[in-house]
Structures are given as C-alpha cells and as structure tokens.
Amino acid sequence: MYPRPIPPTARTERRLYLVLVIAILVVWLAPLFAIILTSFRSSADVANGNLWGWPTQFNLIDNYTGVFSRTPMAQYFLNSLLITVPSVIGVLVLSTLSGFVLAKYRFRGNMALFAVFVGGNFMPAQIMMIPVRDLMVRLGLYDTTFALIIFHVAFQTGFATLFMRNFVAALPDELFEAARAEGASPAQILRHVVFPLVRPAFAALAILTFTFIWNDYFWAVVLTISDTVKPVTAGLANLRGQYVSEWNIISAATMIVAVPPVVMFFLMQRHFIAGLTMGAVKG
Amino acid sequence: MSSLELRQIEKRYGGYRALRGINLRVEPGEFIVMVGPSGCGKSTLLKSIAGLVQVDSGEMLINGRDVTKAEPGDRGIAMVFQSYALYPHMTVAENMGFGLRMAKRPRTEIDAAVGRAAQILRLTDQLDKLPKQLSGGQRQRVAIGRAITRSPEVFLFDEPLSNLDAALRTQMRVELSTLHAALGATMVYVTHDQVEAMTMASRIVVLNAGSVEQVGAPRDLYSNPVNRFVAGFLGAPRMNFFEAKIVEARLGQVSVETAGLGRFAMPVVANTPLAIGDTATIGIRPEALKLVGNRDGAHFSGAAQLVEYLGRETIVYADAAPLRCIGSDTGTGNVTIHLPGIAQLETGASLQIAFDPANAYLFGGAEQRTLSAPKTI
C-alpha cells in the first residue's frame, strides 16, 4: 500500500486531485499572504477594513522603517538575539558532550541517565511555570536575559541529547577504538573525531533549537516584564495593545521577526551533507 | 622488535568466561597468527592486548614492561581493524599522522614518518585524497600505514583482509608478509582464514572457547595437531573423522575396527589410555585418501555424490555407507576426498578408496587427544 501516482488516463481524478491540492494550499497560506499584503498597506486601508484585498496604496518602506522608528522592536530584536544565540550554543555544547558519553561509554546507570534526559521532554511546560518563575525570582534572575537562557538551555538539552546520542551511537565503534589505540585522549577524540563527524546533526539541531527558542512566547511572558529584556515574541504581543489599529505596522514587525529562522536555515543548509562517514569503514 | 608475554589472562562477560587463563610468549620479530572459530575469544584477546578491553586478571608484558593496566595509547601497540576505521573527514596523510599529532610531535617528524610509511605502502600519490576516494585495498594500506607511522613495539591486526575480495586478499597477504620481513616487527594477527594463518605465521595459536588449544609452526600444527579440534580446524577441506572401536592394544600399536573400514593396526604414542573395547576417533585427511583401480587394494568403496572441479584439484564427496563421517559440516556423513589435478569422475561413479594407516590419526580419551604416533615432517 504505497502511494501510487494517478495514471494520466484518469482525467477526472487528476483534475479533482489538482483542485484539492490548490484548495488546501490556499487555506494554509492565506493568513501568511494576508500578513504580507497588510505589511504593504497604508493605515487608511486598515482603517477601512481592507485586510484581505489588494492594497490601494503601497506603504512598504514607511511601514518597515516605522517598525524600528516608532516601536521598540529594534530593542526586542536585539534581546531575542541575546537570548537565542547563547542558548543555542549552550544546548549544542552540552548535548554533544552528554550525547557522546551516553553513546560510547559503558557505565552503570547509563540507560537510566539517558531515560532522565528523554523523560524530561515529556513534562508539560505549564506545570513548571510557577516553580520556574519562583526559582528565578529567588536566584535574583527574574526579568533578566539569563533567566531565559538558563531555562532554554536546560529545557532544550533533553531533546538535543536524545538527538545527539543517537547520532553519535550510529558512528562506527572502530573509529573510537582506533583513536584510543592511537593514544587520543577523550577530549582529543571529541575534538578531532566527534565534532567533525556530527556536523550534519549539529546543523539540524541548531536550526531546530534556534527556531524553538526564537519563537518561544510562553516563557518570554512568564520570565520577563521589562522592554530591555523582552524578546520579539512577547514584544509583538505588546505592540498589539499599544498600536491597536495599526495592523500594517504589526504585520511588518511580524515579517521581520520571521526572518532569522529562515536565514538560519539557509546558513546551516550547506552542512547537511549525506554520507559524511563514507569511506570510514568497509567498502 | 619487542617481545610480548601474556600470563594467565582471564576475561569474563557476566557469567561467560571469554578468555580462560591464556598464556603466550611472543618472541621479538615473530608473526603470530591467532585462529579459531567464531566466538572463540580471538578478537577479545587482541583487544585485550590493545587495552581496548580491560582484562579481569592476569599479566601482560610488552618488552618486559607490565602494561596490564596501561592505557591503549601508552602500550606501544598499533592496531589495524577489519573495517579499516579510517577517519572519513581526514586525508590519507592526516589519517596516517593522527597518532603522532595526538602525541603533539613536531610537524617535521610527522611529515617524515608519514612520507616513509607512504613510500613503503606505495601511497605517496594518494596522500591528499580522502578515504572515500580510495579502493578497498588502498584503504587497508592506509590503515596499515597509520600503524607504521607510530613505529609501535607490537602490531595488532584484527582480520584486516576479510573485507577484501579474493584476488586482492592474496595480493595483500604477500604484501603483509613482505612488510613483516622489511620491518622485522612483532606482529599479532587474528583471522578465521586458515590460508592466511598457514602462509603468514611464524607460529599459529589455535584458540577454542577462550583457551589456547595449541601453539606451533604451521607445518607442525598441520601434521601433528594435539587434539581432534585442532586437526579438524586446520586444513580445508576438513579432515574426515570416523568412529572406531579398539580391538587390540599393545605397546606402541593398537588395532581399530570401524563399520565399513574393517580392522587395521596403527602406531600410537607409548602411554595411551586406550583399552580394548574403548571407542576412539580415526582421522584421515582428504588428501591422504587415494582412488585405486581394483577392489583388492581398497580399504573401502563408495559412490561419488558430488564432484567439485577446482582446476588444479578435485574434491569428491563420496557416500561410503556403512562408513560414515562424524561431525562433518554438512551432516551427510559423506567422505571427502581431495585429488590432485582434474579427476574425470561422474556423479554416482563407484569408487575404490585406499589410504596408508600410517597417515591416519587416532584421537581418544575425554579430550579427544591425539594418540597416534607423531608424523615426521
């Protein structure tokens, strides 16, 4: 029961299929197009309720410069970068270390420890809301960038470790034995053998965690209040209150917020190399 | 050139004894080949010598230095793996210089060592390539080169040729023997291929179920195996074994009787534990069996069940009922006969088969020790 292409002779089915695909695409992408178009509109258009139609007047440059000149979005954007970049680096470093150890070292409680990492992923964020906020208040980190960095690193490392552990486990054992036999220390093995070979996993994880943390709204709201700390997601929500009628500005801000994960994807894409371990073992 | 000594090496995995009191002394410059069936512990033993497996008890000395607890990198060994285990992201030169780089040796020394190894292994033109751009044979040479650059005291090989195709394996076998002669280094080599064992070894170590069965020069082991296991393990096609009954026992000679073979006398060692009525095993190598023209000269007769023409030799599997082979791989009880050249035989042809009892072996006692008199080589 694998998907078979519809034969070219079945005209009606083919047409029906095409119509269905287009219909789903339209429904799926309509909000995105609405936001893109709205980010081009003038305030007059928005005031007249023209939210879905073609803009009567293009205000592209005004809207996008307005995001930075009339709102604190630049600050939010910077805050987001200051939270996301260190968090992603922290997650990658920790998960590579823990993944390597869990994958290639045999010790008592290896599986139990691994289960803790995996199990942490199943905990719903909501039940931790009050304890985590309370913890950050007591640590004196509430409403600081560090609160979000620490939380994101802790919370993302569980999944990232699962990912890295499985990736490293798939690397041939002989490579590690060969390195040990040649006198490489664990740190040298990590640096010269593991890091170069987990690059594709690294890139994938970087994109995933970057997008996760960048798009996080829940913890941004829970752990921050001031504009100097707030990331873009929480900042956008603020704009809605302040500029309630200016949907064109909010849409432009939304577009700007959506850019970094996309840029990240293209930056990391060249690291997705299939068959990196080719030639390591056997033919 | 260094010696290697193993004393009472024991290794357990849970309740399973993988290595049972291994004792072995390897002289400087020797080429030791360890053979044995799958799961006999030969790879575990090699990894123990390398330090990749920590032994439970016993001592290990390299050149008189106790390395039992030493880290792999501090033992003065270099290992070549069955799967090559090349670092895929490094060039051939980087792969070969890896060990020296980890030891933080100066650049000039690394380059010189890599250059020398590359020259020995004819890899000079390949130094800038990545492993994936090389053929299987070249990859294995790189793996050997990686071992050479560290100029270890002992080389360890873990079935290095078993991933290569037959023609390349023959070629690499010769190259390895040449390399051993050129470097004069001490080498320990694990294989399940007995051609490699017979051709390359100074001495062969036959392992079975975690114990050393016999150690000796290839010719000695082949002609004078200590027990039925070694006799059956070395030699392809395998030795034919028949169940026999002792009907007469004198000093230095016994007479045996087998259904289908009749009764014949064999010279035996002086102190056999055999008595009249005991069962024992007769072993006859396939090449010790001859086809004879008429019934009078024959010990037994049979019918060819399968004939394999290999060009310079022919292997015949004969149904010689009531004579039945025991413990054969196929379980058919057919007798294997190895003939030189091309023997014109049709399947089903009736055969008259003879052998010289002096070429037969007798195994008996609880451990199936060899009781027949030693063969002169």
* A148-191 confidence digits (pLDDT tens): 999 999 999 999 999 999 999 999 999 999 999 999 999 999 99
Residue A161 sits in the same domain as residue A243: yes
**Whole-angstrom distance, CA of residue B31 vs CA of residue B299:** 41
Residue A20 sits in the same domain as residue A108: no
pLDDT of amino acid A280: 65
Smallest Cα distance from A86 to chain B, Å: 28
Across B126-142, average pLDDT: 92
Residue A153 sits in the same domain as residue A41: no
Residue A229 sits in the same domain as residue A101: yes
Confirm whether A280 is domain-assigned. Answer: no
Across B67-71, average pLDDT: 93
pLDDT of amino acid A189: 94
How many folded domains does chain A comprise?
Answer: 2
**Whole-angstrom distance, CA of residue B11 vs CA of residue B13:** 7
- Band of residue A70 on the pLDDT scale cut at 50, 70, 90: confident
pLDDT, one tens digit per residue, over A109-123 is 999 999 998 888 888
Least confidently predicted of A211-220, B29-38, B270-279, B360-369 = B270-279
Q: Do A174 and B85 make contact, defined as CB atoms within 8 angstroms? A: yes
Amino acid at A53: G
pLDDT of amino acid A138: 95
**Whole-angstrom distance, CA of residue B48 vs CA of residue B55:** 6
CATH number at residue A124: 1.10.3720.10
Smallest Cα distance from A67 to chain B, Å: 46
Contacts of A193 in chain B (CB under 8 A): 87
pLDDT of amino acid B231: 94
Among B30, B85, B21, B86, which Cα is nearest to B48's?
B21
Residue B87 has pLDDT above 70, yes or no: yes
Least confidently predicted of A5-14, B279-288, B344-353 = A5-14
**Whole-angstrom distance, CA of residue A98 vs CA of residue A116:** 12
| Best of A174, A182, A278 to mutate (most B CBs within 10 Å, chain B) | A182
Confirm whether A283 is domain-assigned. Answer: no
The three-class DSSP label of residue B71 is coil
Residue A282 has pLDDT above 90, yes or no: no
Residue A23 sits in the same domain as residue A144: no
Across A234-248, average pLDDT: 77
Q: Do A282 and B85 make contact, defined as CB atoms within 8 angstroms? A: no
Residue A16 sits in the same domain as residue A111: no
Domain C-terminal end among A22, A44, A68: A68
Confirm whether A282 is domain-assigned. Answer: no
Domain C-terminal end among A37, A53, A68: A68
Residue A113 sits in the same domain as residue A30: no
Q: Do B102 and A279 make contact, defined as CB atoms within 8 angstroms? A: no
Which domains, and CATH codes, for chain B? 4-232 (3.40.50.300), 239-370 (2.40.50.140)
B212 backbone φψ class: left, alpha, beta (φ>0; ψ -120 to 50) = beta
Amino acid at B371: L
Q: In chain A, what percentage of residues exceed pLDDT 70?
A: 94
Confirm whether A128 is domain-assigned. Answer: yes
**Whole-angstrom distance, CA of residue B338 vs CA of residue B345:** 13
ipTM, two decimals: 0.84
Please write down the HEC assignment for all residues of B335-375.
EEEEEECCCCCCCCCEEEEECCHHHCEEEECCCCEECECCC
Bond from prior residue into B237 cis (ω within 30 degrees of 0): yes
> DSSP state, B227?
B
Confirm whether A153 is domain-assigned. Answer: yes
pLDDT of amino acid A1: 57
pLDDT, one tens digit per residue, over A124-147 is 888 889 999 999 999 999 999 999
Residue B289 has pLDDT above 90, yes or no: yes
Q: Do B73 and A182 make contact, defined as CB atoms within 8 angstroms? A: yes
Residue A19 sits in the same domain as residue A141: no
CB B161 within 8 A of CB B169: yes
**Whole-angstrom distance, CA of residue B168 vs CA of residue B77:** 26
Q: Do A178 and B85 make contact, defined as CB atoms within 8 angstroms? A: yes
Q: Which domain holds residue A58?
A: 11-68
**Whole-angstrom distance, CA of residue B292 vs CA of residue B301:** 10
Question: Most distant CA pair in chain A: distance in Å?
Answer: 75
CB hemisphere CA count around B231 (13 angstroms): 31
pLDDT of amino acid A242: 63
Contacts of B99 in chain A (CB under 8 A): 182-184
CB B340 within 8 A of CB B286: no
Query: Residue A282: closest CA among chain B residues belongs to which residue?
Result: B83
Residue A24 sits in the same domain as residue A150: no
Mean pLDDT of chain B: 91
Residue A30 sits in the same domain as residue A140: no
pLDDT of amino acid A283: 43
Q: What is the pTM of this model?
A: 0.84
Smallest Cα distance from B204 to chain A, Å: 24
CB B297 within 8 A of CB B342: no
Residue A257 sits in the same domain as residue A120: yes
> DSSP state, B225?
-
Residue B212 has pLDDT above 70, yes or no: yes
Least confidently predicted of A58-67, B6-15, B220-229 = A58-67
Smallest Cα distance from A91 to chain B, Å: 24
Confirm whether A281 is domain-assigned. Answer: no
Across B95-99, average pLDDT: 95
Confirm whether A279 is domain-assigned. Answer: no
Q: In chain B, what percentage of residues exceed pLDDT 70?
A: 99
Least confidently predicted of B84-88, B181-185, B227-231, B329-333 = B329-333
Q: From edge to edge, which strands make up the β-sheet containing B279-284?
A: B262-267, B253-258, B240-250, B279-284, B361-364, B369-370
Residue B228 has pLDDT above 90, yes or no: yes
Please name the helix (run of DSSP H) or strand (run of DSSP E) that holds residue A193, with its range, or none: none
Across B188-215, average pLDDT: 93
Domain C-terminal end among A51, A68, A85: A68
Beta bridge partners of B284: B240
Q: Does B163 touch chain A (CB under 8 A)?
A: yes
DSSP A71-105: STHHHHHHHHHHHHHHHHHHHHHHHHHHHHHHHH-
Among B175, B182, B104, which Cα is nearest to B143's?
B175
CB A160 within 8 A of CB A209: yes
Residue A80 sits in the same domain as residue A45: no
Residue B244 has pLDDT above 60, yes or no: yes
**Whole-angstrom distance, CA of residue A171 vs CA of residue B228:** 42
Confirm whether A4 is domain-assigned. Answer: no
